[in-house]
């Protein structure tokens, strides 16, 4: 640095910091050899605090305002330097500007699931994420315990530590709250407030105030979510027997709309098909019948017809529209196969009565 540069530094008598970033927590004011001119102006803006440090010791702290740096405005620094009768020459001191504004929308989240015991589902693993807002409330403590000698300290250097503290207390708070898993969504604000209150003593040691802690989501492992979805679906269905009857009636309606199956439905009678289906549903409800068959498609006169449920297939077998040689297919099968080769359809053919003695020969199967 040249002579003129040094001279300019001494002539400049305004100590201030204009922050054009959105993440600076602390900034050390740079002066050549830390020399500050006697009578210089100190400008501390709203959202800032200026801290004077002399030989590693925190001296005077200035809130927002404009100050003339002289003995009466620097009582602690004057005492440390032994200025009994004032001073006129430049003095050496480090000046740190600490941002005390509110920093918002800082993110946190659990890197690993938190294991908790739910009163209804037992042990479950939960993940959570959200945001928080914080501010520096004690500039001296913040510089002493966090900043140290860093000339520029940003939020990124502190957020990892804060996130770890939040996650640690989140697990404790969630376990102590004993809120059922299905009721967590309605208690995000309450839970976040309790966790923030429990963490504040640790933030006091850093000189930081955790103003807000928001829980945006608490999620379950995918397999648990799928199981809950199935459980919800069953709850919506309600009475399984009534739902099975509704499906049977719905299948009859679809078959009636199918031109190829309409003649078959008319031939055997809608009432007979519905009665057979209802009988099978009632028998299944009593626990005597085997599990219901899946819906099958049947090839009739070279055309795909269906799908048909167990009751309809049974009536088709009785009426001769379905034989062991008929080609059938259902979802999950690779190709069409003969009905006699499908084990699930064996009860359909065993229910067909034997031929009447002395009567006409049975229809070919």
Domain map of the chain by residue range? 3-99, 103-225, 239-350
User: What mean pLDDT is predicted for residues 338-352?
Assistant: 80
Query: Tokens in use for 202?
Result: 């640790």
CA 286 to chain centre: 44
Of 294, 264, 291, 269, whose CA–CA distance to 280 is shortest? Answer: 291
- Is 207 a residue whose pLDDT tops 90? yes
Neighbouring CB atoms inside 10 A of 364's CB total 8
What are the helix (H) ranges across the chain? 3-11, 75-81, 139-142, 156-177, 188-204, 222-237, 240-257, 259-268, 270-286, 310-319, 346-350
Three-point CA angle 238, 239, 240, nearest 5°: 105
Count of helix runs (H) and strand runs (E) in the chain: 11, 18
Least confident of 99-108, 275-284, 329-338: 275-284
The predicted structure's pLDDT at residue 287: 46
Beta bridge partners of 305: 298
Whether the Cβ atoms of residue 24 and residue 48 lie closer than 8 Å to each other: no
CA distances 193 to 30, 42, 178, 196, Å, are 40, 39, 15, 5
* DSSP code string of 313-339: HHHHHHHTSS-TTSEEE-TT-SS-EEG
pLDDT at position 64, please?
Answer: 95
Q: Are 74 and 66 spatial neighbours (Cβ–Cβ below 8 Å)?
A: no
User: Is residue 25 over pLDDT 60?
Assistant: yes
Domain 103-225 is classified in which CATH homologous superfamily? Band 7 domain (3.30.479.30)
Asked if pLDDT for residue 327 goes beyond 60, the answer is yes
- Provide the pLDDT confidence category of residue 27 given band limits of 50, 70 and 90: very high
Helix (H, G, I), strand (E, B) or coil at 90: coil
2: left (phi over 0), alpha (psi -120 to 50) or beta: beta
Residues 6+ apart with CB under 8 A from 113: 125, 126, 127, 221
3-state secondary structure of 57: strand
CA 86 to chain centroid: 62
pTM confidence score: 0.57
Q: Residue range 169-191: average pLDDT?
A: 83
Residues 6+ apart with CB under 8 A from 154: 21, 23, 24, 25
pLDDT tens digits, one per residue of 61-81? 999 999 988 888 888 888 888
């Amino acid at each position: 640095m040249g002579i003129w540069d040094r001279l300019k530094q001494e002539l400049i008598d305004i100590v201030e910091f204009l922050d054009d970033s959105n993440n600076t927590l602390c900034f050390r004011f740079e002066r050549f050899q830390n020399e500050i001119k006697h009578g210089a102006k100190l400008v501390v803006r709203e959202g800032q605090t200026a801290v004077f440090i002399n030989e590693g010791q925190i001296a005077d702290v200035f809130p927002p305002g404009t100050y003339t740096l002289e003995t009466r405005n620097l009582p602690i620094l004057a005492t440390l330097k032994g200025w009994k009768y004032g001073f006129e020459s430049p003095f050496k001191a480090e000046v740190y500007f600490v941002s005390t504004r509110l920093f918002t929308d800082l993110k946190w989240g659990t890197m690993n699931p938190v294991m908790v015991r739910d009163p209804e589902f037992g042990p479950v693993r939960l993940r959570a994420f959200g945001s928080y807002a914080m501010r520096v409330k004690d500039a001296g403590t913040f510089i002493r315990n966090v900043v140290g000698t860093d000339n520029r300290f940003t939020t990124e250097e502190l957020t990892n530590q804060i996130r770890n503290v939040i996650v640690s207390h989140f697990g404790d708070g969630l376990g102590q709250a004993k809120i059922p898993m299905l009721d967590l969504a309605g208690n995000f604000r309450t839970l976040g407030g309790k966790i923030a209150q429990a963490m504040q003593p640790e933030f006091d040691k850093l000189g930081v105030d955790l103003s807000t802690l928001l829980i945006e989501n608490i999620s379950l492992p995918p397999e648990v979510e799928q199981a809950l979805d199935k459980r919800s679906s069953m709850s919506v269905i309600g009475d399984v027997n009534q739902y099975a009857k509704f499906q049977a009636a719905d299948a009859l309606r679809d078959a009636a709309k199918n031109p190829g199956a309409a003649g078959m439905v008319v031939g055997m009678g809608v009432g007979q098909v519905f009665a057979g289906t209802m009988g099978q549903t009632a028998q299944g409800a009593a626990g005597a019948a085997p599990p219901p068959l899946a819906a099958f498609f049947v090839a009739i006169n070279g055309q795909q017809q269906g799908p048909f449920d167990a009751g309809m297939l049974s009536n088709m077998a009785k009426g001769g529209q379905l034989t062991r040689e008929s080609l059938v297919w259902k979802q999950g099968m690779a190709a069409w196969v003969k009905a006699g080769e499908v084990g699930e359809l064996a009860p359909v053919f065993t229910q067909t009565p034997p031929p009447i003695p002395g009567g006409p020969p049975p229809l070919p199967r």
